[in-house]
Amino acid sequence: MTTPSFRQAVPSDTDRCLEIETSAYEGDEAATREKIAARIDQYPQGFLVMELDGEVIGFVNSGCAFEVLMSDEAFKELVGHDPEAPNVVIMSVVIDPAHQGKGYSSLMMRTFVSRMSGMGKKTLHLMCKERHVALYKHLGYRYVKPSSSDHGGMSWHEMIMAI
Ligand SMILES: CC(C)(COP(=O)(O)OP(=O)(O)OC[C@H]1O[C@@H](n2cnc3c(N)ncnc32)[C@H](O)[C@@H]1OP(=O)(O)O)[C@@H](O)C(=O)NCCC(=O)NCCS
C-alpha cells in the first residue's frame, strides 16, 4: 500500500471533497457543498484530509459539543459547535470509491483519533448504517443505540468511543 499523507482541510479542498462525498454516499445522505464549506471554514482542525500522490482520496470531518445530540440537523452545519468542547461528533467518513477496501479508512480513522486525543478530546461519536456497525466495532467503537434520525431516508445507528 502506498503510504498516504494527512493534513487539515483548506477551502480549496471543498470541490474535491464534495466530489468524493457525492460519489461515495447514496442519494441525499451526501452533505451539500454548503455544509462541507462550513465545516472547513469553522473547524479545519476537525477536518482531516488524506492524500495519495498529491490527490485527496478521503476525509473525515467533525464538530465538538459539550452535550451531544446526534439527531441535531443544524449541527451538521456546525450550528452549536464549540471548538473547546471535549466531545467530537464525526459527520462524514468517506473514501473515494476507487480506493475503498484497501485499509485506507482504518489508517485515516486511527490518524484522526490520535490527532483528537492530542487536542485533549475525550469522546468520539458517529452515526452509521447497519452495514458499517461491524467496521466501527473493529475500529474500537461501541454500539449505543438505533438513532432517531432518518437522515437520507435510511435507518442509522449511534456509536461511541472514549479516547
Ligand atoms: C465506510 C468507508 C469509509 C470504509 O472505507 P474502506 O476503504 O472500504 O474500508 P477499509 O478497507 O479501510 O476497512 C476498514 C477496516 O474495517 C475492517 N472491516 C471492513 N468491513 C468490516 C466488517 N464488516 N466487519 C469487521 N471489520 C470490517 C477492514 O478489515 C479494515 O480493517 P483493517 O485495516 O484492520 O484490516 C467507505 O466504504 C466509504 O467511504 N463509504 C461511503 C461513505 C460511508 O457510508 N461512510 C460511513 C458512514 S459513517
Question: In Å, how far from its chain's centre is CA 119?
Answer: 17
**What is the reported pLDDT for 139?**
96
Q: What share of the chain is helix, strand, coil (3-state, %, to 5)?
A: 40, 30, 30
Residue 143: which CATH number? 3.40.630.30
Question: To which residue does cell 487536542 refer?
Answer: 119
Counting beta carbons within 10 angstroms of the beta carbon of residue 52, is it exposed (0 to 12), middle (13 to 18) or buried (19 or more)?
middle
How large is the C-alpha radius of gyration of the chain? 14
Alpha helices in 10-124 (DSSP H): 14-24, 33-42, 104-118
Among 76, 95, 157, name the best residue to mutate to test ligand 1's pocket (greatest count of ligand atoms within 8 A of Cβ).
95
Does residue 113's CB lie within 6 angstroms of at least one atom of ligand 1? Answer: no
The tens place of each residue's pLDDT in the chain, 163 residues long, gives 679 999 999 999 999 999 999 999 988 889 999 999 999 999 999 999 999 999 999 999 999 999 999 989 999 999 999 999 999 999 999 999 999 999 999 999 999 999 999 999 999 999 999 999 999 999 999 999 998 777 777 789 999 999 9
Question: To which residue does cell 468542547 refer?
Answer: 85
* Gap between the Cα atoms of 106 and 102, Å rounded: 9
79: nearest Cα among 116, 49, 35: 35
Helix (H, G, I), strand (E, B) or coil at 21: helix
Ligand 1 mean position, distance from CA 95 (Å)? 9
Range of the structural domain that residue 68 is part of: 5-162
Does residue 122's CB lie within 6 angstroms of at least one atom of ligand 1? Answer: no
**Interstrand relation of 123-128 and 142-146 (parallel, antiparallel or unpaired):** unpaired
* Gap between the Cα atoms of 120 and 139, Å rounded: 20
Ligand 1 mean position, distance from CA 6 (Å)? 18
Domains: count for the chain: 1
